[in-house]
Structures are given as C-alpha cells and as structure tokens.
Amino acid sequence: MNAPKCLLALVKSAVMCYGCAMQIEVVEQSLQYTFTDSTWLKRALTHPSADQKRSTNLAYERLEYLGDAVLELVVSTELFRLFPKADEGTLTKLRSGIVSRQHLSDVCRELGWCEHLAMSPQLEKTGGRQAFSVLANTFESVIGAVMADSNYLTARKVALHLLDESIKNAYNYLEVNHKGKLLEVLQAVDGTGPEYVVTPIDPEQPAGPFHAKAMWHDMVVGEADGSNKRRAQVGAAQDALTRRVWENK
C-alpha cells in the first residue's frame, strides 16, 4: 500500500473509532452508567442482520434474553412494592404494559438509541431503525449488557432510572390484547381470522429468538421478532394493526 492510501486508511480507521466512542458515550450518558467493558454495549447495539457470522454471537440476541429476565424481575418487584392493594392478576397486567414491545420501543426511541444501532443496509432501507420490535429488543439488550458488565443491583438501578416514571404511572400502560384486537378487526371484514407462522430466526437455534408472520388469506399482514413465540406473535399482531394492509386489498 502506498503512503497516501495508507494514510487514508489510517484516517478512516481513526474516524470510525472516534464515532464508535462517541456513540458509546452518548448511550452511557442516557444510562447514567459507564461500562467497564464497552464490548457489551457494542454488542447490545448490534442487530443480528449486521452479524455476518451468527456463530460469533456478536449481535444482541443473548443480551436480549438476559435483559428481558432482568426487566421482568425489576418491574415485578417495584409494582409489588408500589401497589400493595393490587391483586396478582392486576399486577401481571400492569407489568405486561410496562415491558410491552410498544412501550419499550417508545422509550428506546425517546432515548435516541435507534440512531446508534448497527444493522444491515437492507434492514435500514425497509425502516428497521424505527421498527418497534427492533427497538424493544435493543432496550432489553442494553439492560442485559449492563447486567453482564456489572451485577443485578446495578442493572436494577439503571432500569429504574429509565422506567421509574412509567412504573409509577403503570395504570396508563395497560397492555392492549393485540392478538384479540386483530382477530376482532379481521373477522369484522369477512369472518376470517389471522393465522400465525412462527419460525426460529436462526435454524441452528430452535429455542429462539423467533420471527412471526400474521397471515390472512395468504397475505402477510404483520410480522415481528420476539425472544419467545408468544412475544413474536403479539408483535406481529401489533404490526398488523399499525399497517392495516387489508384496507388496501
């Protein structure tokens, strides 16, 4: 490599490293947490479509699994503490609203994390940077990254920093039954409800995460990813209710 090309390569490399460092710093500021090993945060901000070698686990899927579990426990504990008169069923519904795909994606979008996500050009062209399932997964993954980098108490502190107001106002976030609503809407059209096709995102990982398609008359009306089959189906139903492609049929 001649001197000018070598210099250009070094400049590009320096710019990329600086940009990555800036992204890490911006997200850390919103978390009010500084990573000991920033690799965890980089992984949390990497969509599977950007991980060419899936076997390397450079994307956020494993961290999403961990963050999902942390959020369930944190939110459950806080709701139990804040609403002593709420019964089990009510607490479960309140928790579902707080950790729903829609709410977590809204929080992620407000924090601006979508701007720092690494993803394939194809996914970005189709609006992946604003897809609620991608944003919700990213939120869970970042919490998982904090947990992996530190411990549960620290991850709990970060999660409460981000969701404290939502938890205190939990009754405002009662989760809509998206699958039931989609069934109701489509049956009102011609009496036929949707069917769901769920497959592992990675055939070599049959336990998930999963991709679900909501089908109606052989037409894909909604689709989404989820850490388990139920969440993928709920996400697909929510996507369908947002897109409402049957109205253009």
Q: Does the annotation count 72 as an active-site position?
A: no
10 vs 184: CA distance, rounded Å: 59
- Whether the CB-CB separation of 142 and 29 falls below 8 Å is answered with no
User: Assign residue 36 a region: left if phi > 0, alpha if psi is -120 to 50, beta otherwise?
Assistant: alpha
Catalytic residue among 78, 140, 223, 239: 140
Q: Which residues pair with 215 in a beta bridge?
A: 195, 220
Could you give the angle at which helices 152-168 and 3-31 cross, rounded to 10 degrees? Answer: 60
Catalytic residue among 64, 68, 175, 223: 68
Q: Does the annotation count 68 as an active-site position?
A: yes
For the chain, where are the E strands, in sequence order? 195-200, 210-216, 219-226
Catalytic residues: 68, 140
